[in-house]
Amino acid sequence: MATDTNSDNGVLSRRHLLQRAGAGLGAVALADLLAGTGLSADKVSQSAPFKKDFRTHPAKAKSVIWLFMEGAPSAVDLFDHKPELDKRHGQKIQIDVFNGSPGPLMKSPFKFKQYGGSGAWVCEKYTHVAKHVDDFAFLKSCHSESNDHVPALYQINTGIPRPGFPAAGSWITYGLGSENRNLPGFVVLGGNQGLKGGPLNWSAGFLPSNYQGTLFRPEGNPILNLQRPRGVTQDEQRAQLDLLAQLNQEHFREHEGEADLQARIESFEMAYRMQMEATGVVDISNETQATKAMYGLDNPQTKLFGNKCLMARRLVESGVRFVQVYSDGQSWDAHSDLIGNHGGHCAATDVPIDGLLTDLKQRGLFDSTLVIWGGEFGRMPVSQGNGGRDHNPHGFLTWLAGAGIKGGTSFGETDEIGYKAVVDPITVHDLHATMLHLLGIDHKQLTYLHNGRRYRLTDVAGEVLRKVLA
């Protein structure tokens, strides 16, 4: 048994024992990372590192594709038909809005039609998506805490409307890892105009940094500086990483913990392995013309989002655990000209989403992939400016499809004009708890000790939405 005696006297102290044990675990982890390359660090144990598995029950989903409609799409203009708005169009009501003075109630400028055996209402701008309504569970009573985009984005992504917390994809890869050690577990396919709140939306927060989302570009090299520098051979690069591994092992022996150092080592090794794998994943040249057309790659209006949807399928097919696909353009933030804004976004995403869902089914991936569609909040039932709608955190819509979802269902309701959730209100924590449940994780058990407290994605709340589960 170790004592508190100083190790300089020949007896290993408790402090030094823990310190060296930590170094050993770091070395073992590094060895596992290097083992697949055939070129491991010098004289490092080849034992697999200890990894906690947070699964508490059989999983229905192996991966998640989150189709994020950034900017807040309007439920009453897309999927939540409100006949009362038609009747009361032009009527003034008392209502609190985010920007300026509210206008009168405004009916949807789009026509609606019922689809599928479930008879779900879908607007005329989403006719391709409408073919899949019997696979959807519509969550019609979602609500969030903020009416401002940035904190609302943080909340829908991390559970908390403040920066500094781990994203849902980070929590999932922390709890489950990736099925492909040559690719990140959490990949973000960002919008071409950037995103409000920036990379904090896919940050690892206080989790080790190797769990943060990896931003892929939809075309060309997926990650900047991914290619080996010119003039450096593979053997030379491997030798550089082996030298870094040896130096970092020395550093492990002299410092306790150093989770960030371990994460940095893993990042170096991941980048090395990704030089071949990631480039292959984003190379769609081997896809058939029929598949490319199914995603809308033959149409300039749908090509950009279609390419990302196709890449998302290729990523989950390659073992990536969590893929977030952001819409493009100036976002769905239609404070004016809702017809042009939502009409344009529907035109850009309708065919690609149809293509993604169809392709997942054809390849046998639909039953193991959870697909989520939605934004950070919704929009008001009253008009604003020139035919637009203001922010509405009190009631918005998200739909789920795929793994473990009871298709053709609807859960929760907003009031008759679509302003506020009134039946079975759904919090962001409920959405996250349901997602984790489908991945085999009890959301109350997925925790991380930080600053003396055990944190979780769902904070101290959240209920699994069992009525939409198959």
pLDDT (tens digit per residue) in 280-326: 788 888 999 999 999 999 999 999 999 999 999 999 999 999 999 99
Residue 194 Cα distances to 199, 218, 250, 330, angstroms: 10, 13, 41, 9
pLDDT for 279:
73
195 in any annotated domain: yes
54 in any annotated domain: no
53 in any annotated domain: no
Q: Say what the alpha-carbon torsion angle 381, 387, 388, 389 is, to the nearest 10 degrees.
A: -10
Q: Is 104 helix (H, G, I), strand (E, B) or coil?
A: coil
- The number of distinct structural domains making up the chain is 1
Query: Could you say which residues of the chain have pLDDT below 70?
Result: 1-52, 218-222, 224-229, 237-238, 241, 245, 248-249, 251-252, 254-277
440 in any annotated domain: yes
Token digits of residue 447: 């925790």
Sign, CA torsion 331/336/338/340: negative
Give the domain CATH number at 73: 3.40.720.10
423 in any annotated domain: yes
pLDDT for 258:
59
pLDDT for 275:
62
pLDDT (tens digit per residue) in 21-48: 333 333 333 334 333 333 333 322 222 3
pLDDT for 180:
85
Token digits of residue 171: 């929590």
Domain that holds residue 309: 63-224+287-468
Angle, vertex CA 324, rays to CA 338 and CA 190, nearest 5: 65
Q: Is 51 helix (H, G, I), strand (E, B) or coil?
A: coil
Residue 323 Cα distances to 181, 192, 312, 326, angstroms: 16, 16, 6, 10
Q: Is 378 helix (H, G, I), strand (E, B) or coil?
A: strand
81 in any annotated domain: yes
49 in any annotated domain: no
